[in-house]
Amino acid sequence: MNAINILSKSTMKLPSRVLSLRNASFLGLRYSFNPPCCEEKLTCKSKAILLIFNQNSQFHAYPSRFLGFQRILNNTQRLYCLPSSGFAQPRAVSRPYRVSVEARVASRVRDLSTSVETRVNDKNFERIFVQDGINVKPLVVERIDKDESIVGGDQVPLTEDENNVNNIRVGLEEGKAGISVEIDIEKEAWDLLRGAVVTYCGTPVGTVAANDPADKLPLNYDQVFIRDFLPSALAFLLKGEGEIVKNFLLHTLQLQSWEKTVDCYSPGQGLMPASFKVRTVPLDDNKFEEVLDPDFGESAIGRVAPVDSGLWWIILLRAYGKITGDYALQERVDVQTGIKLILNLCLADGFDMFPSLLVTDGSCMIDRRMGIHGHPLEIQALFYAALRCSREMLTVNDGSKNLVRAINNRLSALSFHIREYYWVDMKKINEIYRYKTEEYSLDAINKFNIYPEQIPSWLMDWIPGEGGYLLGNLQPAHMDFRFFTLGNLWSVVSSLGTPKQNEAILNLIEAKWDDIVGQMPLKICYPAVENEEWRIITGCDPKNTPWSYHNGGSWPTLLWQFTLACIKMGRLELAQKAVSLAEKRLAIDRWPEYYDTRAGKFIGKQSRLYQTWTIAGFLTSRLMLENPEMASLLFWEEDYELLEICVCALSKSGRKKCSRGAAKSQILV
């Protein structure tokens, strides 16, 4: 069946939701790296030419300029493409697809100059094939015990994956019961991690969020989450297995270009999905086809946009280059464009008065209402890290030099803002305690009009003499004094904090070990919100009850970021202590997503088991401790040049003193 045939037949079924493609990914740039899906019906010739195109193209362009065909989603959000040449209007097809580009199109593209505009309406770019079906290969995983196949009298025959996980579980139960079963935790973790690998058209592209065969209601935990994949990716990279990471980066890049809509409104083009799923769709003749099905928040609980996804993607792209030495990936034109699209979204001018990024509640790891709307530390720290990554990776030329300048300015302003206004230690609390309010002037000390009564009583007793931390959030008349672990750790890792602050953050964790680590590393935030505060802040969320889940629950996945921060600050003993705590329980408890209670004593109330980022976080921590030098590729030292940048007009006019200049001596050391 030829491509056009499929398309015209398929126009019969019109899907209910419409998404359109604003990206030039169909030019072949983004798919040519991964040809297996094209093998059945598309010729090898076209693949070869596409690869040549990849290497030679000087095609510097924003893909958004290549309009001309639409993608149509049906209610399972499948993506389809159709050529506009030959059709008067973009049309809908309701069959899954694989994109490739006709050979002669690719060879034409190869000859393009760097100018893009003149090509916008060139219909030849839009000839796209619908990919034929393939049979989906089952995952091949190593069995621990070949004879054990069904556990607990389950009547439903189990898949090979399920058997594998169950075999491991049986082994653990036996171990718990005192029967001497030597369990190599690391081996088990690797088996589970490999069992969580998701393939697309025969190649590995990510890992599912959780892989518990007993879970009959996985919701979206059977998807590949961008943020969850980070520790998996690092474990694979540190083990010398880069392919899955490269595939992940390129496939998610492809998804970035979708135009997504929630009730007819579209977020920005650079948005990366929170997660994606590989769906298998039956075709004629007992064949199957796989489709990538992303979720940008339009299906997510609360409909939150995952602001952190793009930032994690950039961070992973740099890590991939650093660890594998394959810098060619980040130099690719489509990858450079992907970075720019994310940055354009983050750096877009708005109403902001601050250099920090303004987001809604739940736009990061804490992906439901927890009172972190505004300028939460987690997003600021990841934003800072992503800006530092981008600065290293962007190819500087006429097309990117303004962006690079904007990045430098933002890095400088953001670090000043966070260092100066988010920092809390004993001294600072005492200052806030004595704040005057309602100060109207440029010289106000209490710039955000914080009423001292806001200092929570727990903090007065809790703050240690040694150490300090960065606030969870800062808004007009609002300081969120909760300690958020991920944001603080990434401030250390990215050097968003000053060297002294970074040291003090680890000192605080050490001093408050029982509260932040307890029996399972590490608390997502401290303390939990309770009673009336819980009602107001979470909206009475039964999952986020005090000391559970996002509300003071303990998340073992945070271990790898803690380990990284400790390695950076030369505190290996702290990381080792945390890893051995985790080691005692994780495998026995079946790798839970999170733990509950003040000390992290119980497996979380609604915690998933066999949670991939718990497993991968543990492995990555171990690998980094074994090879701290390799880990050092993943963090940043202070950048003294950045500290010098100040673009504010005050320094030029001489009318007023620049507040950054005045504060510099205290904060920037």
**Rule CB under 6 A: which residues touch ligand GLC?**
209, 225, 227-228, 365, 367
Residue 300: CB minimum distance to ligand GLC, A: 8
| E strand or H helix that includes residue 506 | helix 499-511
Amino acid (one-letter) located at 320 = Y
Amino acid (one-letter) located at 372 = I
For ligand GLC, which is the closer residue by CB, 208 or 567?
Answer: 208
Give CA–CA dist 613/434, Å, rounded.
43
Residue 377: CB minimum distance to ligand GLC, A: 15
For ligand GLC, which is the closer residue by CB, 163 or 545?
Answer: 545
Torsion over CA: 231, 236, 237, 238 (sign): positive
480's CB contacts (< 8 A; 6+ apart) are: 371, 372, 376, 471, 472, 473, 474
Q: Which residue is nearest to ligand GLC (CB)?
A: 209
Residue 359: CB minimum distance to ligand GLC, A: 14
Q: Are 380 and 487 in contact (CB under 8 A)?
A: yes
Residue 381: CB minimum distance to ligand GLC, A: 15
Give CA–CA dist 185/144, Å, rounded.
13
Angle, helices 333-347 vs 401-421, to 10°: value is: 50
Residue 412: CB minimum distance to ligand GLC, A: 30
Residue 557: CB minimum distance to ligand GLC, A: 8
Residue 215: CB minimum distance to ligand GLC, A: 12
Amino acid (one-letter) located at 423 = W
Amino acid (one-letter) located at 627 = N
| E strand or H helix that includes residue 563 | helix 559-568
Residue 304: CB minimum distance to ligand GLC, A: 10
Give CA–CA dist 319/33, Å, rounded.
19
Q: Compute the CA torsion angle 86, 91, 96, 98 (nearest 10 deg).
A: 40
For ligand GLC, which is the closer residue by CB, 273 or 338?
Answer: 273
Torsion over CA: 186, 190, 193, 195 (sign): negative
Give CA–CA dist 242/230, Å, rounded.
13
Token representation of residue 644: 């010098």
Q: Whose CA is closest to 575, among 628, 515, 504, 500?
A: 628
Give CA–CA dist 252/239, Å, rounded.
22
Residue 538: CB minimum distance to ligand GLC, A: 13
Q: Are strands 525-526 and 483-484 parallel, antiparallel or unpaired?
A: antiparallel
Residue 614: CB minimum distance to ligand GLC, A: 9
For ligand GLC, which is the closer residue by CB, 367 or 503?
Answer: 367
For ligand GLC, which is the closer residue by CB, 161 or 289?
Answer: 161
For ligand GLC, which is the closer residue by CB, 227 or 482?
Answer: 227
Indicate the SS3 state at residue 410: helix
CA distances from 202 to 140, 205, 268, 290, 517 (A): 11, 9, 31, 10, 40
Give CA–CA dist 62/78, Å, rounded.
24
* Total residue length of the chain: 669
For ligand GLC, which is the closer residue by CB, 534 or 594?
Answer: 594
Token representation of residue 643: 């500290």
Token representation of residue 361: 């509640």
For ligand GLC, which is the closer residue by CB, 300 or 341?
Answer: 300
Q: For tokens 């009547």, name the residue.
A: 155
Q: Are 489 and 561 in contact (CB under 8 A)?
A: yes
For ligand GLC, which is the closer residue by CB, 606 or 666?
Answer: 606
For ligand GLC, which is the closer residue by CB, 110 or 227?
Answer: 227
For ligand GLC, which is the closer residue by CB, 361 or 425?
Answer: 361
Give CA–CA dist 99/34, Å, rounded.
11
Residue 227: CB minimum distance to ligand GLC, A: 5
Residue 220: CB minimum distance to ligand GLC, A: 7
Strand partners, 359: 374
Residue 298: CB minimum distance to ligand GLC, A: 16
Exposed/middle/buried for 515, CB within 10 Å: 0-12, 13-18, 19+?
Answer: middle
Token representation of residue 292: 């990538």
633's CB contacts (< 8 A; 6+ apart) are: 319, 322, 323
For ligand GLC, which is the closer residue by CB, 191 or 378?
Answer: 378
Residue 124: CB minimum distance to ligand GLC, A: 41
DSSP classification of residue 14 = P
DSSP classification of residue 278 = E
Residue 365: CB minimum distance to ligand GLC, A: 4
Indicate the SS3 state at residue 548: strand
CA distances from 225 to 213, 248, 362, 439, 613 (A): 19, 11, 15, 45, 10
Residue 250: CB minimum distance to ligand GLC, A: 21
Residue 126: CB minimum distance to ligand GLC, A: 35
Q: For tokens 């740099």, name the residue.
A: 318
Strands (E) across 4-155 are located at: 17-20, 70-73
For ligand GLC, which is the closer residue by CB, 132 or 361?
Answer: 361
For ligand GLC, which is the closer residue by CB, 292 or 365?
Answer: 365
